[in-house]
């Protein structure tokens, strides 16, 4: 191998990219605490059956994109392609139903074998918020409010649009399913191979097809609103009125179905056109039957996930702020006291860097390059007097400061 390169669809995070990534994660968990969500993490790999049953065997994720392998014990294992199925498994296997309604917040890596493109990788990362055990529309409103709040905090309110739809209750979907099967059966020869496979297994997936020929047929397919029960209609209206009350703008998108099998009632996406082609940055919906389908008790639930890489691309990073305080020892005798001072200031909450090598000129040059506001210079003469030299790197002014008063003298230079 002449060059060491990352595997296609993966990348190394460093510098501003890592800072953008961290900003999304930190903002998410800060808001999650405000909304009462508990941090949670699940294994990166699970038994393959969990995702096949939970996501749906006819979805692209299961049929084409999962990283699946046999371990040494002969078990079929899959790297997680999304959070929800694993969180539902944890809810069942840990007996968390006694804690319902349970609000969960997670972030971490996902794995899907798909064509890499801007903001999309084969190892990618998501933030995820779920409410398990709440069947009321107020849970939908709260989750959507939290998502909109997050986007506001990241400075993205003007770059995204909320698209929302209802998939109705089970009776509504059953009637709609029959109508879709009848419609698409009449155009079977024009359907893509994938959509012909889905026709009788899950025709709703055809509505989510990316094939251009399928899209033309989908444009004239029957809509759910013709079959929506009164109860499901009232539920959706309650959600929409709640969004209006909170002041969250939205567009009802009647053909929005999302790509996974477990959704019902409210389904939604926050989309943007600022990444080139229109892309989803946060998406989710209600999945009242999934936990029961996986073998747990009947449990209503709703959640959303956001792509950290895509969100990070949209974030505007602030101009470089103050750099760290520079501690500069002069001579071997000053090295130990300088190291002790560095540790002391860090424990007091100051951001401090002490260079490992170089004379004072080189160390001051590095401090200026790091945008340090001030340098603390310790030489043998200063130490003998129980003081150090404080040099303001913006004005060039310097003055002697007693070692016991350094924290007070540095207050103007705090971040």
Look over the chain and give the mean of its residue pLDDT values, rounded to a whole number: 89
User: Percent of the chain beyond pLDDT 70?
Assistant: 94
Mean pLDDT, residues 81-110:
96
Residues 155, 159, 250: CA angle, nearest 5 degrees: 110
Q: Which residues lie closer than 8 Å to 265 by C-beta, 6 or more apart?
A: 140, 166, 167, 168, 169, 232, 235, 236, 285, 286, 288
Q: Using 50, 70 and 90 to split pLDDT, how confident is the model at 278?
A: low
Residues 65, 12, 7: CA angle, nearest 5 degrees: 45
Question: Looking at the predicted structure, is the pLDDT value of residue 119 above 80?
Answer: no
The fold of the 325-413 domain, in CATH, is Rossmann fold (3.40.50)
Query: From residue 279, how far is each of 40, 85, 275 by CA, in Å?
Result: 27, 23, 7
Q: What CATH class has 15-169+229-314?
A: alpha beta
Question: For residue 189, what pLDDT is reported?
Answer: 82
**Contact (CB, 8 A) for 42 and 86:** yes
Give the pLDDT confidence of 155-179 residue by residue, as tens digits: 998 899 999 999 998 888 888 888 8
Q: How many CA atoms lie within 13 A of 77 on its CB side?
A: 12
Question: For residue 202, what pLDDT is reported?
Answer: 77
Give the pLDDT confidence of 21-72 residue by residue, as tens digits: 999 999 999 999 999 999 999 999 999 999 888 666 656 666 678 899 999 9
Domain ranges of the chain: 15-169+229-314, 325-413
Question: For residue 275, what pLDDT is reported?
Answer: 80
Give the pLDDT confidence of 336-365 residue by residue, as tens digits: 999 999 999 999 999 999 987 878 888 888
**Statement: the pTM of the whole predicted model exceeds 0.85:** yes
Q: Using 50, 70 and 90 to split pLDDT, how confident is the model at 88?
A: very high
Question: Looking at the predicted structure, is the pLDDT value of residue 259 above 60?
Answer: no
- Can you give the three-state secondary structure of 42-56, one letter per residue? CCCEEEHHHHHHHHC
Give the pLDDT confidence of 288-329 residue by residue, as tens digits: 989 998 999 999 999 999 999 999 999 988 777 788 999 999
Q: Using 50, 70 and 90 to split pLDDT, how confident is the model at 332?
A: confident
**Contact (CB, 8 A) for 315 and 154:** yes
């Amino acid at each position: 191998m002449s060059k060491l390169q990352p595997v296609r669809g993966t990348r190394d995070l460093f510098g501003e990219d890592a800072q953008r990534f961290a900003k999304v994660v930190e903002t998410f968990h800060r808001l999650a605490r405000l909304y009462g969500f508990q941090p949670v993490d699940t294994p990166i790999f699970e038994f393959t059956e969990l995702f096949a049953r939970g996501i749906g065997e006819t979805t692209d994720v299961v049929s084409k994109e999962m990283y699946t392998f046999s371990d040494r014990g002969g078990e079929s294992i899959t790297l997680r392609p999304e959070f929800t199925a694993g969180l539902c498994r944890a809810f069942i296997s840990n007996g968390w139903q006694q804690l319902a309604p349970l609000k969960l917040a997670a972030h971490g890596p996902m794995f899907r074998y798909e064509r890499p493109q801007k903001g999309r990788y084969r190892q990618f990362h998501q933030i995820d918020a779920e409410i398990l055990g709440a069947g009321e529309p107020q849970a939908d409103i709260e989750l959507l409010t939290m998502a909109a709040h997050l986007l506001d905090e990241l400075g993205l309110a003007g770059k995204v649009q909320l698209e929302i739809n209802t998939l109705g209750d089970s009776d509504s979907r059953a009637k709609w399913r029959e109508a879709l099967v009848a419609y698409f059966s009449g155009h079977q020869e024009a359907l893509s191979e994938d959509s012909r496979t889905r026709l009788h297994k899950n025709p709703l997936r055809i509505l989510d097809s990316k094939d251009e020929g399928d899209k033309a047929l989908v444009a004239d397919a029957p809509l759910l609103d013709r079959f929506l029960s009164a109860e499901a209609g009232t539920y959706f209206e309650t959600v929409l009125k709640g969004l209006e009350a909170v002041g969250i703008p939205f567009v009802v998108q009647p053909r929005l179905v999302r790509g996974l099998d477990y959704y019902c009632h409210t389904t939604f996406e926050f989309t943007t056109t600022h990444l080139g082609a229109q892309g989803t940055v946060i998406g989710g919906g209600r999945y009242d039957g999934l936990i029961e389908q996986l073998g747990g008790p009947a449990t209503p639930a709703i959640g959303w996930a956001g792509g950290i890489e895509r969100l990070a691309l949209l974030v505007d990073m602030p101009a470089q702020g103050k750099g760290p305080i520079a501690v500069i020892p002069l001579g071997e005798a000053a090295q130990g006291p300088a190291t002790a001072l560095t540790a002391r200031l860090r424990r007091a909450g100051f951001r401090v860097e002490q260079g490992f090598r170089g004379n004072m000129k080189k160390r001051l040059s590095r401090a200026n390059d790091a945008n340090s506001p001030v340098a603390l210079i310790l030489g043998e003469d200063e130490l003998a007097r129980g003081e150090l030299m404080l040099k303001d790197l913006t004005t060039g002014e310097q003055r002697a400061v007693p070692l016991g008063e350094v924290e007070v003298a540095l207050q103007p230079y705090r971040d």
